[in-house]
Chain A
Amino acid sequence: MSDPALVKDDKDGMTTGDAVAALRRRLLGPAALQKLLAFASLVLLMIYFSFASPAFMQTDNMINILQATAVNGVLAIASTFVIITAGIDLSVGTLMTFCAVMAGVFLTYWELPMWTGIVAAIATGALSGVVSGTVITKMKVPPFIATLGMMLVLKGLALVVSGSKPIYFTNTENFSMISQDSLLGAIVPDLPIPNAALILIVMAVFASIVLNRTALGRYTFAIGSNEEAVRLSGVNVDRWKIIIYGLGGAICGVAGLLIASRINSAQPALGQGYELDAIAAVVIGGTSLSGGTGTILGTIIGAFIMSVLTNGLRILSVAQEWQFVVTGIIIILAVYADMLRRKRA
């Protein structure tokens, strides 16, 4: 583990025991700076939209933004793991859809109890991720191609399984609560934060812990920095990679439940294109596509930047054609800022 490529990783406990230096790196290091920059952009955006329209900074609209961020945020968390390993997962969008459709099959067709159906849908996601991981590691198909293939396979399977029709959750009365109700609002009426946003936060905390406090997280960074060095030091890289893709898949399963609950149906034709939004959130949040660095907090901020931007431009009634142009430019600028920072660091 003395490979210099590993040492550049900014996470504590692995390469140095010096807590002070680690703390300094956490607070002032390049990753922290990127997060700060991303966070500053988010705040700036929100201030701008608040001044530009009185309708923006309203409780209702903040709830809209939270709802709109949840699905992309969870997909972006799944993508973060894979991207840190210097891989890519293009199947997250259609996997989300496939899991939503399977939730429909479990709950509406098979009439399983809600919690069993939820667990089974997440397991479906994990299984699919394991398949992707196996294709990548054992069949040596590059991640881009392997997950492109999986994207199409899952898109097709979602249509086949559902008979190309939406599945409505007619047997599970409480299903829409998962995303739409507010558990917090029931306790604190002034904070009607939808469950979807709470689930996003819970997933983010869980993912941060996995990424920063477990062996799985350490190997995720290590593989992304220098896969060969990790392999040479005797680690079973293939196995860890399969676990990482499997974890990503399980998280996509959560996204599938969120979106199905949000629209109260599993829409089989949905999903393609969502992987690009997720990847955009990840890179805006400072995770490098070349692997080895990245944070969950950054990804979440990235996802919020995307949804605040979309919502704000809508509130300002900016013509839709221009919304794409602005969003595209923001993505490029965000990554450009990251590049400048890297060059300087």
Chain B
Amino acid sequence: MFKKHLLSVALGALVIAGASTAVRAEDTYIPLVSKGFQHQFWQAVKLGAEQAAKAANVKITFEGPETEAMVDKQIDMLSAALAKKPQAIGFAALDSKAAIPLLKKAQAAKIPVIAFDSGVDSDIPLTTCTTDNLAAAGLAADKMAGLIGDAGEVAVVVHDQTSRTGIDRRDGFLKQMKDKHPNIKIVSVQYGGGDQLKSTEITKSILQANPNVKGIFGANEGSAIGVLNGVKEMKKKIVVIGYDSGKQQKAAILSGEMAGAITQNPIGIGSCTVDSAVKALKGEKLPKITDTGFYWYDKSNIGDAKIAAVLYD
């Protein structure tokens, strides 16, 4: 039948075209199931993982659901990854509990699990390659204090109040201000879902309600860009501090619109995950948490080799 033919030929062609990375049985294979894949941050994690995989001569795949709400889709991905009988697995949990039955299955099958970016409520992962977000946001608070003269009103735009990174970056920033910079008053903490447009609107309403705000901290890439746009639209001159990188944030830092930002080391997170998996396969002992580090960057050091290597476009 013509139609059936068409269907199978087209499917076959497409699958073959896409399947250039198909796995051979004799390779050491380590699938990474991430929290996402479309954001530049995850692409940078993927890049780091690929570099480490090449160096260690192992095969990896990298995938994650379209949005960070799709817990069930991530579970499906993890199931499929386990079905491929990998030698080890890397996993960045969207929900710290939902995947535990599957991780137990991996443990029973003696497949080492390496967590990355955010941890799991379980001791199954041999290590977690992650950023110390509390400390990183604390550094942002110190920088903010320095830039506004250690006194005045400050606001925070966070991506959400449910994810580990959202909670830690918010709390890290607020705690550091409270402990070390008592003359700084946090007038508003708002949540924009990491959506640039929503964060823009939020920033504008913060500035409308608090005309004396001297600085705003945007706690992830989308929030930071939103803060930047909101400040620009309101024609204000205040200190903006961002998080992560991306083309827009880098340009804003170079042009002076943004004072600076905290960058994690996404490439390091990716390579740490693969390296840890390889070490686990060799039977090496791993620390409970592997801190992959973070840096402050601004106009003065954005070009340094150490910084440039961890920034992404």
**Interface flag for A340 (CB, 8 Å):** yes
The answer to whether A317 and B21 touch (CB under 8 A), given A61-B80, A265-B98, A310-B76, is yes
A164-200 interface code vs B (CB 8 A; 1 in, 0 out): 1110100000001000100000000000000000000
Q: Give the residues in chain B near A313, CB-CB below 8 Å.
A: 15, 18
**Interface flag for A216 (CB, 8 Å):** no
Closest partner residue, chain A, to B25 (CB atom): A54
Closest partner residue, chain A, to B94 (CB atom): A267
Closest partner residue, chain B, to A56 (CB atom): B83
B36-70 interface code vs A (CB 8 A; 1 in, 0 out): 01000000000000000000000001111011011
> With A and B bound together, what is the CA distance between A168 and B121 in angstroms?
13
Among the stretches B6-14, B229-237, B278-286, the one at the interface with A is B6-14
> With A and B bound together, what is the CA distance between A48 and B98 in angstroms?
32
Determine whether the beta carbon of B98 is less than 8 Å from that of A318. Answer: no
Q: Give the residues in chain A near B70, CB-CB below 8 Å.
A: 270, 273
The answer to whether A166 and B15 touch (CB under 8 A), given A64-B80, A315-B83, A337-B7, is no
**Interface flag for A20 (CB, 8 Å):** no
Q: Give which listed residue, A37, A269, A320, A322, contacts B4 with CB less than 8 A.
A: A37
**Interface flag for A50 (CB, 8 Å):** no
Determine whether the beta carbon of A330 is less than 8 Å from that of B11. Answer: yes
Q: Give the residues in chain B near A71, CB-CB below 8 Å.
A: 72
**Interface flag for B180 (CB, 8 Å):** no
Min distance, Cβ A254 to any Cβ of chain B, angstroms: 15
The answer to whether A263 and B98 touch (CB under 8 A), given A40-B4, A319-B18, A326-B15, is yes
Q: Give the residues in chain A near B12, CB-CB below 8 Å.
A: 48
B197-226 interface code vs A (CB 8 A; 1 in, 0 out): 000000000000000000000000000000
Determine whether the beta carbon of B97 is less than 8 Å from that of A311. Answer: no
B104-127 interface code vs A (CB 8 A; 1 in, 0 out): 000000000000000000000000
Determine whether the beta carbon of A45 is less than 8 Å from that of B85. Answer: no
With an 8 Å Cβ cutoff, the count of chain B residues facing the other chain is 47
**Interface flag for B79 (CB, 8 Å):** yes
**Interface flag for B3 (CB, 8 Å):** yes
Determine whether the beta carbon of B76 is less than 8 Å from that of A267. Answer: no
Closest partner residue, chain B, to A317 (CB atom): B61
Q: Give the residues in chain A near B7, CB-CB below 8 Å.
A: 41, 44, 330, 333-334, 337
The answer to whether A55 and B83 touch (CB under 8 A), given A180-B101, A263-B75, A310-B76, is yes
> With A and B bound together, what is the CA distance between A259 and B74 in angstroms?
13
Determine whether the beta carbon of B72 is less than 8 Å from that of A263. Answer: yes
Determine whether the beta carbon of A58 is less than 8 Å from that of B83. Answer: yes
Q: For the complex, would chain A's binding face be called helix, strand, loop or mixed by DSSP majority?
A: helix
Q: Give which listed residue, A44, A61, A67, A326, contacts B14 with CB less than 8 A.
A: A326
Determine whether the beta carbon of A44 is less than 8 Å from that of B4. Answer: yes
Min distance, Cβ B75 to any Cβ of chain A, angstroms: 6
Question: Interface size for chain A: under 10, 10 to 19, 20 to 34, or 35 or more residues?
Answer: 35 or more
Q: Give the residues in chain B near A320, CB-CB below 8 Å.
A: 37, 62-64
Closest partner residue, chain B, to A164 (CB atom): B162
**Interface flag for B22 (CB, 8 Å):** yes
A292-317 interface code vs B (CB 8 A; 1 in, 0 out): 00000000000000000011011111
**Interface flag for A325 (CB, 8 Å):** yes
Min distance, Cβ A176 to any Cβ of chain B, angstroms: 8
Q: Give which listed residue, B21, B71, B81, B84, contacts A319 with CB less than 8 A.
A: B21
**Residues of A236-265 whose CB lies within 8 A of B:** 259, 262-265
Q: Give the residues in chain A near B76, CB-CB below 8 Å.
A: 64, 67-68, 310-311
**Interface flag for B95 (CB, 8 Å):** yes
**Interface flag for B305 (CB, 8 Å):** no
Closest partner residue, chain B, to A64 (CB atom): B79
Seen from chain B, the residues whose Cβ lies within 8 Å of a Cβ on chain A are 1, 3-4, 6-8, 10-12, 14-15, 17-19, 21-23, 25, 31, 37, 61-64, 66-67, 69-72, 75-77, 79-85, 95, 97-98, 101, 160-162
What would 30 A/B residue contacts be, using CB atoms closer than 8 Å?
A: A48-B15, A53-B84, A55-B83, A64-B80, A68-B76, A68-B79, A164-B160, A165-B162, A168-B97, A176-B101, A259-B72, A262-B75, A267-B95, A269-B162, A270-B69, A272-B69, A273-B66, A310-B76, A314-B77, A314-B81, A317-B19, A317-B21, A322-B14, A322-B18, A326-B14, A329-B14, A333-B10, A337-B3, A340-B3, A341-B3
Closest 7 CB pairs of A and B: A322-B18, A269-B69, A314-B80, A61-B83, A263-B98, A318-B18, A64-B79
